[in-house]
A and B are shown apart, each in its own frame.
Chain A
Amino acid sequence: MTVFCLVEVDGDAVADASLRALTLARDLPGGLAAVTFADPPLAELAAYGAADVYVVSGIDGYAPQAWARALGGLLGGLDGLGDAAAAVPPAVVAAGTDRGNEVLAHLGAITGLPMAANCTAVSASPDGALAVVRQRWGGLLLEEAVLEAPAALLTVAADAVSAAPAAVPGAAAAHLVSPSLHAGDLAVRAAEEPAGAGGASLATARVVVGGGRGVGSAEGFAPLDELAALLGGVVGVSRVVTSEGWRPHTQQVGQTGTKITPDLYLACGISGAIQHIAGCSGAKHIIAINTDPGAPMVARADYAVIGDLHEVVPALVKALRSRA
């Protein structure tokens, strides 16, 4: 059977979260097919093992229920789903992004199938059941579960699976499909607007400079902004900072904010509460700047500077400027 992976396209590349979804999708039995609603980056999809690429036409922009209907159509219609002859059920996999979770929830509602959100691992047993591991509590707990359904619907936790190309590339044979939509499927659709401040987004930034209560005030962020700009990154903050109104909630890292997966997270004046760690444990490297050597953030870091961030960050900015 086929494993369909909903692929989000970012400019002319596959979105990072979708590369992670493709990587996990390869652990499911069956041929891998990518599904896109935009021009597909075929070379990248081949490298990640896609044998087929279904390009859905006729839906302009993001319309969650229509996207779900199209994926449902690819599953072969609901009648085919009860087919007992197929030992291995088909699957639909998506990235655990706002869009991925939303589309698969619609697909679950349309088909009456269960949906497992934010999976970190999956493996098949010969009888067709799947063992899945999924995040609870924003990743603070892992749930082991058994998924036994006519088709498996799952999303992939972006911060817990790293992207890796396939050992053997796929053919990435492109097929154009036009979905048969139902009335109302296009009733809810996104109109994209340019973002306020613009720039790189927190979720995909390669470098994040984090600021917490230790920064002390809205004005205190100036050196962190400068440092982020020098490192080609963005500023992320703790919940204390957004509750104090020093920074907008769009910049919050954590369980109820954004989950980040940068190469470097430089956490300044952040204690490292578990709800914050839930958002930054996907960082490849962590450096902590904190006055308290016993802070949990320091224990979670690869490197630490013990000291006042109001002294260390400006000195670092100065040192980096003098190198340029």
Chain B
Amino acid sequence: MEVLVCVKRVPTVGGAIALTGDGRGVDTRMSGFTISPHEECAVEEAVRLCERYGGSVTVVSLGPAEAEEQLRSCLALGASSAVLLETGGEEFGPMATAAALHSVAASGGFDLVLLGNEAADTGDYQVGVRLAHLLGWPVATGVKALSVSAASLEARREYRGVTEAFSLPLPAVVTVKEGINLPRYPSLPGRLRAKRAAVTRVPVPFTADPGLRMTSLRVPPAARRQATVLGHGADAVPALVSVLVGLGVVS
């Protein structure tokens, strides 16, 4: 089975997010870069499927030259080829992103395209669905369990405490969420292989998505509440019970 996984280079966010001076981007001078946990799980899922059924995993990223770093980490985890859709570092909208990914997805005889349910940074919740429409393939989103047979796949997700199952003919697009698996750590041979592997580079000119334009970013005011310390250890329990009664959660 041939699987394509789409991953996006994003800053690693630790204790807080700082903005650039113009308020239009995240200050990355002090941070490293990574891909989102959902996408790490997408890579792991693809590698497991190919270990089980044969075939190979290709990873693709639309991003600046430096996104090669994220592609190489995916190669270290078991992907066998990588495509960098190289930009000048502009922020592509979801439509332009889907169009760029489509050029790779439509070319390679893929049975399955995996994406994250949402990107860690912009959180647009739509690139996978738009890509599926461009390909004319069925799509399932928010998937937390996946099983594949010869010509179809079964995808499951949670919906208000209920499991929803979708069955899709292949080829298909699936967006996954963290929790679908526990990703492995890269092995030493994997890392060595990733260092030597070739990354195909394709330049992609910037096009702006029509209609939706970001003007600025801001950090929401921290909901720092005035914590009342009810006490220390078990001695605080009577006060805690009164608070629970006050909030109406116990009668």
Contacts and interface: CB of A to CB of B under 8 A. Distances in A.
Interface of A: 10, 15, 62, 64, 96, 98-99, 101-102, 104-106, 108-110, 112-118, 135-149, 155, 184, 187-196, 198-204, 206-207, 230-233, 242-243, 245, 248-250, 252, 255-257, 263-264, 273-275, 281, 285-288, 293, 298-308, 311-312, 315-316, 319-320, 323
A137 B231 contact: no
B9 interface: no
Interface in B206-251: 209-220, 222-234, 236-238, 240-241, 243-244, 247-250
Interface stretch (B43-51, B177-185, B190-198): B177-185
Contacts of A256: 36-38, 177-178
Q: State which size class the interface on B falls in.
A: 35 or more
A315 B234 contact: yes
B115 to A, nearest CB: 12
B97 interface: no
B120 interface: yes
Nearest to A132: B212
B210 A193 contact: no
B250 to A, nearest CB: 6
Most buried by B among A136, A191, A281, A303: A303
A183 to B, nearest CB: 11
Contacts of B150: none
Contacts of B250: 230-231, 320, 323
30 contacts: A98-B159, A101-B118, A105-B125, A105-B129, A105-B141, A106-B129, A109-B133, A115-B126, A116-B212, A142-B217, A148-B213, A155-B125, A192-B159, A195-B162, A206-B249, A249-B178, A255-B120, A263-B248, A274-B13, A300-B225, A302-B225, A304-B227, A304-B229, A304-B230, A305-B233, A305-B236, A308-B233, A316-B237, A316-B241, A319-B237
A191 B165 contact: yes
Most buried by B among A137, A248, A293: A137
Contact of A312 (B122, B123, B129, B234): B234
Given A195-B162, A303-B243, A102 B230 contact: no
B241 A320 contact: yes
Contacts of B158: 195, 201, 250
Contacts of B236: 305-307, 312
Contacts of A323: 241, 250
A147 B211 contact: yes
Nearest to A318: B237
A137 B229 contact: no
Dominant SS among interface residues on chain A: mixed
Given A148-B211, A307-B233, A316-B237, A188 B227 contact: no
B53 interface: no
Given A146-B215, A195-B162, A243-B182, A110 B133 contact: yes
Contacts of A189: 166
A249 B144 contact: yes
B142 interface: yes
A207 B224 CA distance: 21
Nearest to B168: A188
A312 B233 contact: yes
B36 A288 contact: no
A273 B16 CA distance: 9
Given A243-B182, A305-B230, A305-B236, A188 B163 contact: no
A114 to B, nearest CB: 4
B139 interface: yes
Given A105-B125, A249-B144, A307-B236, A141 B161 contact: no
Contact of B217 (A136, A304, A306): A136
B217 A144 contact: yes
Contact of B227 (A147, A264, A302): A302
Interface in B2-17: 13, 15-17
B51 to A, nearest CB: 21
Contact of A109 (B26, B125, B129, B168): B129
Interface in B34-72: 36-38
B95 interface: yes
Most buried by A among B169, B234, B243: B234
Nearest to B41: A256
Contacts of B238: 319
Contacts of A64: 141
B160 interface: yes
